[in-house]
Amino acid sequence: MSLLEGRRRPPAPPAKLALAGTGRARGAVIALLAAGSLVPPVFAGTLRGQVTDQATGAPLPLARVTFESEGTLEETRANTDGYWRTELDPGRWIVRIAFLEHTMSVDTVTVAAEGEQVLDRALVPESRMETLEVTADPWQGVDDRPSAVRLDARALRSLPAFGEVDPIRTLQYLPGVQAISDISSGLYIRGGGPDQNLILLDGVPIYNPTHAFGLFSTFNADVVRDVTLYKGAYPAAYSGRLGAVLDVTTAPGADDGIHGTVGLSTITGRLSVGGPTGRGHWHVAGRRTYLDPLLDQLRKSTPEIPAYYFYDLNGKFDSRIGEYGLLEWNGYLGRDDLHVDLDADSFVDQRWGNRATSLRYRHDLGDATLALTGSISRYDGDTSVQIFTTPISFGNDLEDRSVGLDWNRDMGNRILRMGAQTSFYRFRLDQDFNGESQGTVKETPWDASMFFEDEWRFGERANVRFGLRVRRFSEGDRILWEPRGSGVWPLSETTRIRAATGLYHQYLQLVSTEGFSGGDFYLPLDETTKPGRSWQNVLGMEWEPSREWRFTLEGYGSVLRDLVRFDDNQTAGDTDTSTDSIFLTGGKGWSAGAELFAERRFGNVTGWIGYTLGWTRREFAEVNGGKPYPPKYDRRHDFSAVATWKRGVWTFSDTWTYGTGQAFTPATARYSIRDPATGGVSEYGYVLPGEKNSARLLPYHRMDVAAIRDFTAFGRPAKFMIQVFNLYSRRNEWFVQYDTSASDAGAEVVQQLPVIPSLGVEFEF
């Protein structure tokens, strides 16, 4: 039964868009329809339904629904939850519902005057590995916004992976998105660092989305339905970060019985099960590393080998409430645990993880939707070290309790979105050294915001969106106005221009080490410091010569002000915990660049080629003598090629990436002075750092390949995977060390990972 089934409601403006037969006529038709579609036809009947994926039960957002009758062709699109609705003249209509990589459904429906019919359809997915989808195109069923990219589960799972399929690592192949090293799943997007990205799991922020010090992300690909990345100038519905938004959505359980997958990779074992229940679905999944016994054995002979594991659990449940309501619960729990025993007096203990849960009630009001959401997200990290009996500890907790209300009205050629959200935070940061507190921060700020977005559609390929977000953060008593806007406009039958702009602020600061993320911690800015501010602009063009091919060229430019940077040069035992004492403040920066994206979406060979030309600069009075400098991740050229080839039961994929070498600070001299406290002299002196990040490592490049074979085990589909990370074992440069332990010692480059093959197997039931 559909959410809307049996519903009786007054006629509403129809969500229908005419398909003009030729491009020449389209402009006039669009204009006419924009005006005419506001008036409902007399005696029209209503047809509505939901489009879902038959295999997963997941709604198919923005699926295309066309209606044909006696030479008349009309069209609408499902909303992001797969629901669609239109009003048609009475008579027989052929209804086609299409979504990429799914078999089209075709029905003949007789529409009665002033009647209402429901046409829910679960589309059958085509062969799972047949094609690859990466797109920001309405025809493909994704959000039609500049700088938005969506990857669905199949795309994520078909690409080569580093031992474990990882949605975040896959995004690093996209233009404008970079990795800082082989071991990092952090996203460096258009000149912004991971601290400037908002990462959401089913709408709830995840504050440290990594396992194994950044080697893997917290997102289990078994439960991910799709990943949408806004690389910049993101819409008013999101806020709180200066850079990008990554919105990860998990899949609900299947409609047609209990199904699941069991998988083993080189790193983890995984189990995912889901199915229908009552008037809804459930889905649970978990994974855990299983190297513990091996590490235990090795530790018997080499005690310093660490004991380490991580696990994560995902849960999802949804149920219809009454005729118009839908209740949805999502939960996530992930932990990492590391213990190293060095000797009787020395050890390292480190634990960190995220917990997140949300409860959302969505009520259908006909052409509008109202959603009430409550969520809790918690990140905690605790490190306890003892070196020769001296205890050192570091702890950081962040709890985010949020409640939000969203209202969305689709009037066919116009969509209104409004929302309000309040978040209450609790931060704790404790540092102890040798039994003495080195400073404790306890803050309980709150953040309240409202947003409004008005989207106007001009035919099927043009739209303009105006948005505004107003925020108030408790610290500093500031009200922040954040205007946003975007537009897509056709220039011809095959080309469109796209533009977006927006103003953004950030209060919560992630302090992270470039390279690994086990020591990450969060702090809010207080009244002593202005929040960081960015103004982002995007201008681009897309060209679709056919449904098979798509090319985009997008330029971006961001100006950043009031940036903060963790002050590495703090004094031990300094108990001043105000923001302007902990951070360097008043920083400036900018980034600019252009991205080229050429994508082939259909056929046996699919994939894309992406290229980014970019510049990024930062400027702090206390850094580099106050002169602007490129951050480590400033990358002039970044190229990636991704291809997937389906042949029989085999699917082959490969990726190749190339990037300008990372910036680093070179030594420019060697000098000697005495240690002022001991009078000791370093025999071979110290190296003198030159201009910050004024040199470059060698260019980075790497090729990964994967082969996946479909087979049947016990009558059920199964897959066997062979993946090779860094196929030609290029030892890319990671960082430079200057050795001053000998007179003629010089510089040494520490290299990144060599070739690493891995195997995996997966069974579906």
Partner 1 sequence: MSSRFVRGILAILPALLLPGCAAKRDAGELFGPSEAGTLVLDAILTVGRPMPDVYLMEALDPSQPFVANAPDVISMEINQGEGINRVTYESVVEVRGRFKTNSTAMILPETRYYFHAVLADGREIRATTMTPPAFDVTRWVLLEEDAETVRQTFRTYEQNGDFVYEQPENQVTYAEGLLEAQFTRPDVPAFQVSIESLDLDSDLVIDPDFLSDEQIADLERTQSSPAIAGDEGTLRLPWLAIYYEGRYRLRAYAIDQNWYDLVRTSPDFGGGGPGFGGSAGDSFERPLFRVEGGIGLFGSASVDSVGFYVHPRP
Select from 572, 648, 714, 715 the one that contacts partner 1 (CB under 8 A): 572
Rg, C-alpha atoms of the chain: 27
- Residue 629 beta carbon to partner 1: minimum distance, rounded to whole angstroms: 10
Select from 191, 587, 614, 666 the one that contacts partner 1 (CB under 8 A): 666
- Residue 751 beta carbon to partner 1: minimum distance, rounded to whole angstroms: 7
Residue with the two structure tokens 């938004």:
245
Select from 503, 605, 753, 756 the one that contacts partner 1 (CB under 8 A): 605
**Considering only CA atoms, which of 129, 222, 221, 163 is closest in space to residue 764?**
222
> Is 251:284 a contact under the CB 8 Å cutoff?
no
Residue 300 found at the interface with partner 1 (CB under 8 A): no
Residue 568 found at the interface with partner 1 (CB under 8 A): yes
Site string for partner 1, 624-663 (x = CB under 8 A): xx------x--------x-x-x--------x-x-x-----
> Is 523:579 a contact under the CB 8 Å cutoff?
yes
Pick out residues in 38-57 that bind partner 1 (CB under 8 A).
none
The interface region with partner 1, picked from 166-174, 293-301, 371-379, 567-575 by CB under 8 A, is: 567-575
> Is 568:202 a contact under the CB 8 Å cutoff?
no
Select from 440, 688, 712, 716 the one that contacts partner 1 (CB under 8 A): 688
Q: What is the dihedral of CA 288, 294, 299, 304, to 10 degrees?
A: -50
Nearer to partner 1, 479 or 572 (CB): 572
Kindly write down the DSSP assignment for every residue of 259-273, as one continuous string.
Answer: EEEEEE-SSEEEEEE
Kindly write down the DSSP assignment for every residue of 305-355, as one continuous string.
Answer: SPEEEEEEEEEEEEEEETTTEEEEEEEEEEEEEEEEEEETTEEEEEEEEEE
For residue 648, what are its two tokens?
Answer: 């029989």
Nearer to partner 1, 126 or 574 (CB): 574
- Residue 180 beta carbon to partner 1: minimum distance, rounded to whole angstroms: 10
Residue 687 found at the interface with partner 1 (CB under 8 A): yes
Pick out residues in 369-388 that bind partner 1 (CB under 8 A).
387-388
Nearer to partner 1, 308 or 658 (CB): 658
Say which residues have a Cβ less than 8 Å from residue 455's Cβ, sequence separation at least 6. 414, 415, 416, 417, 463, 464, 465
- Residue 173 beta carbon to partner 1: minimum distance, rounded to whole angstroms: 13
> Is 177:231 a contact under the CB 8 Å cutoff?
yes
The interface region with partner 1, picked from 229-237, 247-255, 454-462, 690-698 by CB under 8 A, is: 690-698
Select from 114, 256, 493, 748 the one that contacts partner 1 (CB under 8 A): 748
**Considering only CA atoms, which of 329, 327, 328, 324 is closest in space to residue 363?**
324
What is the distance between the alpha carbons of residues 476 and 528, in angstroms, rounded to a whole number?
7
Select from 124, 292, 574, 626 the one that contacts partner 1 (CB under 8 A): 574
How many CB atoms lie under 10 A from the CB of residue 530?
A: 18
Residues, the chain: 765
Residue 513 found at the interface with partner 1 (CB under 8 A): yes
Residue 621 found at the interface with partner 1 (CB under 8 A): no
Say which residues have a Cβ less than 8 Å from residue 565's Cβ, sequence separation at least 6. 583, 584, 587, 618, 620, 623
Q: What is the dihedral of CA 168, 170, 175, 176, to 10 degrees?
A: 20
- Which helix (DSSP H) or strand (DSSP E) does residue 296 occupy? helix 292-301
Nearer to partner 1, 309 or 516 (CB): 516
- Which helix (DSSP H) or strand (DSSP E) does residue 155 occupy? helix 153-158
> Is 500:488 a contact under the CB 8 Å cutoff?
no
End-to-end CA distance of the chain: 25
Select from 749, 753, 756, 761 the one that contacts partner 1 (CB under 8 A): 749
Residue 671 found at the interface with partner 1 (CB under 8 A): yes
Pick out residues in 514-553 that bind partner 1 (CB under 8 A).
514-516, 519, 545, 548-549
- Residue 140 beta carbon to partner 1: minimum distance, rounded to whole angstroms: 18
The interface region with partner 1, picked from 23-31, 250-258, 265-273, 675-683 by CB under 8 A, is: 675-683
Residue 345 found at the interface with partner 1 (CB under 8 A): yes
Residue with the two structure tokens 């039960």:
57
Pick out residues in 422-441 that bind partner 1 (CB under 8 A).
433-436
For residue 120, what are its two tokens?
Answer: 């829910």
Select from 424, 446, 535, 566 the one that contacts partner 1 (CB under 8 A): 566
Residue 352 found at the interface with partner 1 (CB under 8 A): no
Residue 714 found at the interface with partner 1 (CB under 8 A): no
Residue 405 found at the interface with partner 1 (CB under 8 A): no
Residue 668 found at the interface with partner 1 (CB under 8 A): yes
Residue 343 found at the interface with partner 1 (CB under 8 A): yes
What is the distance between the alpha carbons of residues 134 and 113, in angstroms, rounded to a whole number?
41
Residue with the two structure tokens 């680093």:
664
The interface region with partner 1, picked from 104-112, 365-373, 415-423, 734-742 by CB under 8 A, is: 734-742
The interface region with partner 1, picked from 102-110, 481-489, 584-592, 745-753 by CB under 8 A, is: 745-753
Nearer to partner 1, 424 or 658 (CB): 658
Residue 210 found at the interface with partner 1 (CB under 8 A): no
